[in-house]
Structure 1
């Protein structure tokens, strides 16, 4: 407590504040302190309220041992001083008999006879008070189900009786009835019973989260996998990290294990690490731990027992180690309950859950599907074999020669050979072949370095690529291989020019640098004698590439022809020496140059010719990249259907080759764009996530998270709120994100999207907390006040929706201050007008002054915008402000002021013309003016004149749809006359 409580008013205020806290240790400790404070007052009512709050904190904070003790004190007060219990307090006392029954069932140390004695006490007191016994029979049924007795009679005695005021809520009773049918093996009847809860018609403190967790497996068994997926996302968010719902979390973990989502299960387990230590209820522990064990058992069965797992604090766990620990604890708990109950029910139920086979091989639960390999500790992985890969030669000389031959052809499977060679050479017992055809070890080491350099370049790590190429060049010189050395030095030159830090000086400086690189390449080419055709062709390609990069940098027309001239040289040389790969590369560069110069038809013609050649003569591994270029060209030509076909074929052909051969990241990204143009946003979302996953595999985490951020926003735009939240929760739980190692603005963007999704999902409390935290953090973004203005403005509106207008005013003031440094006219005007509307709507005349203060600020923003020549993208700020003045005054009962403001808004808008997109806004303004004048000021005649004239005008201008609300209001006014 912030200070010692001196009065009962202060106590009740503190109780109210504590009631708004989430359940957990903070709320519970405060409730304990408030009971101590209440005991100082002579009157018992404050103590009753404090004890009720403490029992609630224990009950929903998963501390069942303490709840009955508190209730005993309440019952003593009730017996000794019944007059202090008004009807509401009396109702709460009788209601909480059920809470005690629930608490006692969770404690195996409480004898079964004591549980039955408590039920007798409940029945006696209900009968004495003249209360219906349906709640008692509900408790008797739940005890029978817990013990494992035949529940048929107990169920009928409960379910067949009429509900009373003290019955459990409708949602809870629906869940109990459904569980009865589920225990009888009737999945379909259970699901029919659950339907009002599953579809959101019935809910309470624990529902629908409790029912959703139980319904997951029946849905799978009845073939409703998509519904199960949907309810998993919604239900898990309702129970995660909540000690009083640990059993529900356990069932979600079990669901993951039985649908091929073991990796997500481990992720959720890590998110709920607090449940290992914070759950005080033995029955909830048993339920949770059994779900955990189902997951760990499955992961271990799949051969991943050594994966790290999150478990009890104080030590590091593997999946196998944690499973053994969990199994021991859960077996002991089940045995204790069975010993208390005299049955084997809990051991049998555990055995049933642990014995279930997976219900589906795969069910994509989230937008970020991951396998157990994805969550394993990072380790170097060899390039995967392709479907066309031939066996790697066993003979070391053959392997070396094959790797070089494939590399000379540019064949992607050279990586597989070099990966094998890298492993062999690193071994302590490696013996290099004494074979003139293979050459010295220094030559092989140079080959390996060159291969590493190429891989680094493919990942855009140009600094690393440049360094490795230079090192390779030196070794090639030591091996007396001047041609290879020249190519390596040329690659180093080009890689150095592409290092991001080199770009800081701007396009002109970079263009000059690339011009210099080209000159150096030409000089290197001319000074190196005795070049083999393959080396000479590569040097020619590198020269052309340097000029292509220069054109890409500047877009200048004068830089087009030099590229064509160089590609002509490559094309002629490659044709003369039958170098298919170099010829393909030259034709690809030529088509790209046409595209960069703006001649898209010529680019498509060039690509088509290249595709014909590749299909006829190869190399086949160039097809995916070429099809990808054609797809991008078709997008630029606004033919998304053709683009989609090309890009889809590119992805299909890319699967024939090792993973790094083709930039599938870009292919998926381009396909996402094509899908959006085709009106297939769901497919676009899938391609965005695949693109991000490909970037992650390549180690490009920033790019991957940017793409994931776009995917999250798209899922939110598609109203796939739970998908959006689940994706962002997964991303924000990544170790480098949680540790603050990712770009802080990118992390903030992820959190902002999540906050918006929470708001869209009507989790206003969580959304407000996240917005407030982001507003506080962004206040320090001196380099980006505009973003702070946006976040603070959204925070202010959300606070206003919750009725917290003091904090909303503070957040709005922050937004206004940030706006002064980086103007956001429409954003601020919209925020301030909305706050005014909310305050007037919620507080009426009492809030009018503060609402008008918001509008005064909005008026100053409109004046600033007008002075700055700002053109709003949507509504006129002045007409929107006048309309809001009218609406705010109407909410506050100042009807004459409201009508005057609306008249001003109509004058500012002017009557709409035939193609005027302001017709709807004008009609709404007329409607509100008519309502204020005709209904509230009771002047129907002029109101009807206004409405009829507006209807006639709108009809004449072709805006018939906008007349509907006006004619409805006019009919109402005529009826009332």
Structure 2
């Protein structure tokens, strides 16, 4: 082959995809290039071959080719001189590949690092990048002292043309500190990259992925969520950033988002079986996947399919692969440092129970069977179980019934007293579902306790039976039984057979029946309300005299509801606050959640969102994981509403709204979507547009569910604006146009229609859809005319004039003797404004007149004007 043929072949090879075929073609071409006289051409072919090896996971082949390239460079400096900078830059990246490649012996790696250092020193380059590579190698070998010395020297060395960009360097510095266990130090180095102050083609993509867990471990939960929402879209489907995808999958596994992690994995399932890729990237990706798969297997999902294999089978294969890869690194490094680092990563436990990240995802059910619940503790003795069940029962804990069922399920016969307590628990559980059966069971268990000489439990069971009898529809019988058992309790208490708490437990039957009777009436008579109030107040007085706070709390709670029915809101508030205080003092904070939530609703009604937030937050904290799912969801929405009414609280609103979305999942799709949209809008208002777009993308396909047309239009407007800020103008235009369609026939939303038409025009213009943009500008101008809005109308017309000029052919024959396109339109705007200025010289008119004159001058001098500098369409922002 001659020089021309080699050059032509090289041009064709450039277009080939990376892989073995491309490398083979270049290997043949390198042989041909060696035979011609053009050493510059041979060097160019070798450089291309080195890059092909890098991108086809054949980096162990690079040193031989690079040795040949350096000899050419040294022997023929005049011919190869123009490529010298590229050769020495590529030498740095080849050296990095050698450091990370277990197929390259350490001796070879050290020799090339020395070569790099010598050549940089000879040419006056800073040792900064060389020291950074030595620090990386020392980290891989487990020599933290040498790593620290080299990295600190690298950081202090001067920057020059061979240094990586600041964003990439900060990635390396932070990685060094993170591997040393210094999360705070890593985040300090990464801070300018995370904030967007420093960036490049692959940053902040990689840093955001690496920072996920350090942010979480240092308590920066909201920042960790933000890094996920911003970062995943940057690395998604980018094969050269597969290690970063692995970090995002791992983050999902450790934050209670296993279903979302599985979604991410399924999007990249083809990567699980790909071969011939860069080994360190493979380790990073597969390690993150194994963390997720182990977590799913522990939760009982080993049978679900990933591709055409079960999760368990996939996990076993990947664990074998990662073991083999780690063994290669250990063999190369002469230590187990690498495998120990990976093993520590794979053994991580979740850092939080649940960190909501957007629309909740759902794990699939394995074919043919349900997912088993995680195993419960089985080493407790019967005595341990009974003690725990009694403790929970004494505090009216929601898990008391379950504790007694664990007692019932224990091996061996139960003692008679314990068996009676189990039956009592089961009978109480039937009160609402089958009060007749509960009544019979409670009387039977009362007799059983009497036979055991347990007066307190026997009377408590009969008191509960009175309530059950009322619930069967026999109010008279229920009240009579309650009165009878209360009298018996009084006698037993006087005889010292009951404690104060046991006595009051029996006495509550009467007040509870009275309250239940009120609840059966839609509008109870005031006389009945006042009679019930007197009864409950009398019981409250007894409870206060005997200092039993769990009973005073209950009666304050009941009185609050009676006061509401009587129209005494202030009295209700007082009793609610007393109920909250007493429930907490009695060690039953979960029962304080209801009155605290009611206080929050009252505060919102009184337009005091800060107080409402305080009460709602306390209610959430009091309830913890003990509240029914629907009650927890409603509390979360109350908190969202309270925060949303406070200006400047958008950051807090994000977390509250996403937590609410997670709680509504499976209960109410409209509420799930609404709270997720609330979080997206909060990010939009914070100008955190990447996070906003990530959430909008999740929920926008279902926007019609929670909203009517005008609200959907506004939501699309916000989504489009965030897309525009990210430079995604074509997608932004689509959102603006869809929003405009929704309100185009709504006479009450003409301003929004005009705004959306104008925004669509700008987005269409910047996405290169000039014809559509022109039509949209003209439509927006007409709408602003109908609305009598001068400034936006004039700006739309000026934008249209510029667009005409830009679309025109300034040097065409038809325009040589006439005005260029757009100038006549701009003159028409100017003439109109001059007329307005004479008739009504307002500040608005004069400002637009001056701007139009300036833009007309620029339009006339279009050949010397940079169209991209024109920002008239941004003047309204």
In the other structure, the counterpart of 2:402 is: 419
For the 8 Å contact 2:194–2:208, the answer to whether it is kept is yes
Q: Distance in 2 between matches of 1:933 and 1:371?
A: 53
1:63-212 matches, within 5 Å, as 64-72=19-27, 96-103=48-55, 106-107=57-58, 114-123=61-70, 127=76, 128-130=79-81, 131-132=83-84, 133-145=87-99, 146=101, 147=104, 148=106, 149-150=109-110, 152-157=113-118, 175=168, 179=172, 200=196, 205-210=201-206
| 2:829 alignment partner, one of 882, 894, 901 | 901
Distance 1:273 1:691, change over 3 A: closer
Distance 1:281 1:529, change over 3 A: closer
SS at match of 2:20: coil
In the other structure, the counterpart of 2:705 is: 745
Q: Distance in 1 between matches of 2:25 and 2:717?
A: 38
1:111-510 matches, within 5 Å, as 114-123=61-70, 127=76, 128-130=79-81, 131-132=83-84, 133-145=87-99, 146=101, 147=104, 148=106, 149-150=109-110, 152-157=113-118, 175=168, 179=172, 200=196, 205-210=201-206, 213=209, 234-252=230-248, 261=254, 263-264=256-257, 267-268=260-261, 270-273=263-266, 275=268, 277-278=270-271, 280-284=274-278, 287-289=281-283, 292-293=286-287, 296=290, 304=298, 308=302, 313-318=307-312, 323-333=315-325, 343-344=332-333, 348-355=337-344, 362=351, 367-368=356-357, 393=386, 412-413=396-397, 415-422=398-405, 447-450=428-431, 453=432, 469=433, 471-473=434-436, 476=439
SS at match of 2:15: helix
Give the alignment's Cα RMSD to 1 decimal. Answer: 6.3
In the other structure, the counterpart of 2:685 is: 717
Q: Distance in 2 between matches of 1:395 and 1:676?
A: 42
For the 8 Å contact 1:716–1:724, the answer to whether it is kept is yes
For the 8 Å contact 1:191–1:219, the answer to whether it is kept is yes
For the 8 Å contact 1:525–1:536, the answer to whether it is kept is no
For the 8 Å contact 1:756–1:767, the answer to whether it is kept is no
Q: Distance in 2 between matches of 1:753 and 1:94?
A: 54
Distance 1:290 1:272, change over 3 A: same
User: Does structure 1 residue 630 correspond to structure 2 residue 599?
Assistant: yes
Q: CA deviation at 1:418?
A: 2.0
TM-score, normalisation: structure 1: 0.58
For the 8 Å contact 2:360–2:661, the answer to whether it is kept is no
For the 8 Å contact 1:422–1:448, the answer to whether it is kept is no
1:555-603, Cα deviation, whole Å (9 max, x unpaired): xxxx6xx464443232123344568577434422234346xx6xxxx51
Q: CA deviation at 1:884?
A: 1.4
TM-score, normalisation: structure 2: 0.63
Distance 1:178 1:190, change over 3 A: farther
In the other structure, the counterpart of 2:447 is: none
1:90-148, Cα deviation, whole Å (9 max, x unpaired): 998676334224146x24xx8x5x53332234446665544213145335523542334
Q: CA deviation at 1:665?
A: 3.8
Q: Distance in 2 between matches of 1:284 and 1:648?
A: 49
Paired residue total: 724
User: Does structure 1 residue 830 correspond to structure 2 residue 755?
Assistant: yes
1:589-642, Cα deviation, whole Å (9 max, x unpaired): 234346xx6xxxx51343124534775698765544323322332232233344
Distance 1:931 1:743, change over 3 A: closer
| 1:880 alignment partner, one of 788, 792, 816 | 792
For the 8 Å contact 1:266–1:309, the answer to whether it is kept is no
1:258-289, Cα deviation, whole Å (9 max, x unpaired): xxx36457843651345454364544355334
| 2:851 alignment partner, one of 909, 924, 928 | 928
Q: Distance in 2 between matches of 1:301 and 1:828?
A: 49
1:551-700 matches, within 5 Å, as 562=524, 564-576=526-538, 583-593=555-565, 602-612=568-578, 615=581, 623-654=592-623, 658-660=626-628, 663-678=631-646, 679-696=648-665
1:653-683, Cα deviation, whole Å (9 max, x unpaired): 445x944499444444334444444443333
Q: Distance in 2 between matches of 1:351 and 1:756?
A: 48
In the other structure, the counterpart of 1:806 is: none
For the 8 Å contact 1:178–1:191, the answer to whether it is kept is no
Distance 1:817 1:626, change over 3 A: closer
For the 8 Å contact 2:470–2:513, the answer to whether it is kept is yes
Gaps of 5+ in 2: 126-159, 378-382, 445-461, 484-507, 541-550, 806-821, 862-874
For the 8 Å contact 1:689–1:711, the answer to whether it is kept is yes
Distance 1:567 1:93, change over 3 A: farther
In the other structure, the counterpart of 1:540 is: 514
For the 8 Å contact 1:101–1:118, the answer to whether it is kept is no
Q: CA deviation at 1:858?
A: 4.1
For the 8 Å contact 2:561–2:572, the answer to whether it is kept is no
1:382-410, Cα deviation, whole Å (9 max, x unpaired): 999xxxxx9874699x89xx96xx7xxxx
Q: Distance in 2 between matches of 1:933 and 1:760?
A: 31
For the 8 Å contact 2:23–2:52, the answer to whether it is kept is yes
Q: Distance in 2 between matches of 1:204 and 1:821?
A: 45
Q: Distance in 2 between matches of 1:231 and 1:375?
A: 27
Q: Distance in 2 between matches of 1:765 and 1:567?
A: 64
SS at match of 1:54: coil
| 2:16 alignment partner, one of 43, 47, 54 | 54
